[in-house]
Structure 1
Amino acid sequence: MTEAEMIERRRYRPEPGQELRVFAYGSLMWRPDFSFIDLQPATLYGYHRAFCIISTHYRGSETHPGLVLGLDRGGQCIGRMYRIAPEDAESAADYLHRREMITGVYIPRLLKVRLPSGEDVTALSYVADRQHPQYAGKLAVEDVVHRIRDAVGVAGPNIDYLRNTVQHLDDLGISDCALHRILRMLDGDKAAT
């Protein structure tokens, strides 16, 4: 199967007449670029947010690959859940496919997330494909820092992606996690120069 065939095969099609829920854990938290009727914190169990995806488009290039976030197995991830009205669900799903499925490194999945009320709902999210060549796996924090430091893609510097994610984690009340440590290390690099 070609990459293009894999990407098309992974296209998510929402149920006609139904709301679409989307779980955001990276740039979708601050730049959804689709219409939604509600946004609230949500927790996904069984996956964690990690810089495990090699980026040669949005936040890196072929000559200087960067890293972007993926959902990898194990742990938990606090993010945001968007509710999209039935009349906007198909266009939002098409937009998400174009945005997230530049390559086949993500697998769209319907996953259970827990809302602050304690209610569990199903939401669409994008999980790292561990078999894809762009899957970087678990990297040492120093390697993550090195890859992010100077990488730039069509969406801008890799460090801006990290900084925006950390800001939105702070907004959710997550004030000290692995991403904060990576940012502190990168900011320390800049202060030392």
Structure 2
Amino acid sequence: EGLVYHIAREKVDAEIEILWRREMVGPGYLPKFVTAMVDGKPIRVLAFIADHSAENIQPNLCRSEQIEFISTGTGILGTSLEYLQNIVGQFDALGIVEEECTTLLDDVQNHIKTQ
């Protein structure tokens, strides 16, 4: 599940450059064209997929490690907490219930309160 954005033909080059700069700032994602179903019809879309072979992608972190890293992590674009808050906020605004992200955010915020 996800979101698909339609970009007007005359804006594709500029928007792809913006996407590329944001998503490809460091190793961690692979740009791929994939098939998405929209209104029951398949369309080709550009997606940025987690690269599990990248050194900074660690898919096997236990929950306590996830909470610790998110509560303390910071980078050139902000904190890990801000990133997670933004994700949950965007889902909420779109009416998407994403229990894992919401629960993780609650766990991180509770962890921060007890520090």
Q: TM-score, normalised by structure 2?
A: 0.85
**Deviations, residues 127-162 of structure 1 (Å, cap 9, x unaligned):** 122222122123222211110102222222211110
Q: CA deviation at 1:176?
A: 4.5
Deviates more, 1:158-167 or 1:183-192: 183-192
- Relative to structure 1, is the Cα distance of residues 131 and 191 closer, same or farther in structure 2, using a 3 angstrom cutoff? closer
Counterpart of 1:102, as a letter, is V
Aligned twin of 2:78:
156
Aligned twin of 1:131:
53
**Any gaps of 5 or more consecutive residues in structure 2?**
none
Q: CA deviation at 1:184?
A: 0.9
Q: CA deviation at 1:164?
A: 1.1
Aligned twin of 2:5:
82
Counterpart of 2:41, as a letter, is E
Are 1:181 and 2:106 counterparts? no
**Any gaps of 5 or more consecutive residues in structure 1?**
1-77
Q: CA deviation at 1:84?
A: 0.8
Question: C-alpha distance in 2, partners of 1:179/1:145?
Answer: 12
Aligned alpha-carbon RMSD (Å): 1.8
Q: TM-score, normalised by structure 1?
A: 0.54
Following TM superposition, where does structure 1 have runs of at least 4 consecutive aligned residues deviating by more than 6 angstroms? Answer: none
SS at match of 1:124: strand
Structure with the higher helix share, 1 or 2: 2
Q: CA deviation at 1:185?
A: 0.7
Identity within the alignment, %: 25
Aligned twin of 2:63:
141
Counterpart of 1:149, as a letter, is S
